[in-house]
Amino acid sequence: MELSSFFKEIILIHDCVIIPELGGFIANYRPAIANIQNNSFKAPSREIAFNSKLTKNDGVLINWLVEEQGMNYNDASSLVSAFVSESFDLLNRGEKINFPQIGSLQFDQNHNLIFEPKTEQNLLLDAFGLETFFFQDLASEQIAAGTHLTVEQKETVKRLFHTKHLRKIAVASSLLLALWAIPVDNNQAEMEHSSVLPALTELEPKQVNNETITSIHSVEVAPATLKAKKAAIKNILSQSKPQAMKSYHIIVGSFKNQINAHSYEVELAREGHSPKLFPLKNGYFRVSIDSYETQQEAILALKMLKQTNKSLSAWILRK
């Protein structure tokens, strides 16, 4: 298992990640920068630094392996120890340790650890989607003294609506909106006459005093049921909105008993979430609270979830 490829995902959520006996990555907030010389504006970001003196195990890395990779604590600790041992072997041979999209570590001539960060990608979740952009100079034009400005006279535009008329229209619109929002009794099996479908009219010619007169009379339209309308609307919406694949799931629970897992799934659904059940080969059942199309969306949702419930142990599963 390539442990170095996991650090980007961990540093997106945590401000500090320590590799026991090796050092720790620290993410510092960097505010937005406006460069007047080249007319550029850079979004806020996070600067990643490495401190070789942070060697005490804080539990972040090992706990992430337990929750995300499904490992037990002893196996995760052994994996981290093996990674540290292999890293020092590479460093002593003068090679670099690469951490994708974060940076690299290597020894200098004095056997000190040197970290070279990578700045191609912004690791600040709050600045997701913001990129550096350039703006044009705002040049002011000087008007010579004694110059007279001429203003073109245009025909006065007539007002189509007066203030009192606009108030009447606003009140009428509010009344119509209130009438439309009144709930309809769902137990009513059928509406006598639909207010949505207008009555059709038929033209019938008649002879009166040798003159043809056309009379108009109404033709009744078959009543429409409320249930049929709702079914038609639901069918149109389902056809017009394609379902996207959601491969990133936020896991909030793991159960040995399937009944307990299903009960938790029902409870999350009642709260308005879209939970899913994932059975494992070892007999356990994972429960997700929501699913997302992209990893960035899932990370943002996980961060907001942990802000509202700091004691919640949740992580992202890609499946």
- Does residue 69 sit in helix, strand or coil? helix
Spatial separation of the C-alpha atoms in residues 241 and 211, rounded to whole Å: 57
Q: Residue 245's pLDDT is what? A: 83
Q: Residue 287's pLDDT is what? A: 92
Spatial separation of the C-alpha atoms in residues 59 and 26, rounded to whole Å: 15
Domain with residue 310: its CATH number is 3.30.70.1070
Structural domain includes residue 146: no
- Burial class of residue 99, CB neighbours in 10 A (0-12, 13-18, 19+): buried
User: Domain containing 65: what range?
Assistant: 3-134
Structural domain includes residue 182: no
Q: Which of 104, 134, 164 is the last residue of a domain?
A: 134
Considering only CA atoms, give the Rg of the chain: 34
Structural domain includes residue 37: yes
Q: Which of 80, 101, 134 is the last residue of a domain?
A: 134
Structural domain includes residue 70: yes
Structurally, how many domains does the chain consist of? 2
Task: Determine the residue type at 249.
Answer: H
Q: Which of 99, 134, 169 is the last residue of a domain?
A: 134
Joined together, the tokens standing for residue 224 give: 């429409």
Q: Residue 149's pLDDT is what? A: 57
Q: Residue 178's pLDDT is what? A: 64
Q: Residue 228's pLDDT is what? A: 64
Spatial separation of the C-alpha atoms in residues 75 and 71, rounded to whole Å: 6
Structural domain includes residue 169: no
pLDDT tens digits in sequence order for the chain, 319 residues long: 578 778 888 888 888 889 998 898 888 887 888 887 887 877 888 888 999 888 888 888 888 888 888 888 888 889 899 889 988 988 998 899 888 888 899 998 888 889 988 877 777 766 766 777 777 776 655 555 555 556 566 555 555 555 556 566 666 666 676 666 555 444 444 444 444 434 333 444 444 444 444 443 444 444 445 566 556 656 655 554 555 688 899 998 889 898 999 998 999 999 999 999 999 888 889 999 999 999 899 999 888 888 888 777 788 888 8
Spatial separation of the C-alpha atoms in residues 22 and 249, rounded to whole Å: 32
Structural domain includes residue 141: no
Classify residue 127 by its DSSP letter. G
Q: Check whether residue 129 and residue 252 sit in a common domain.
A: no
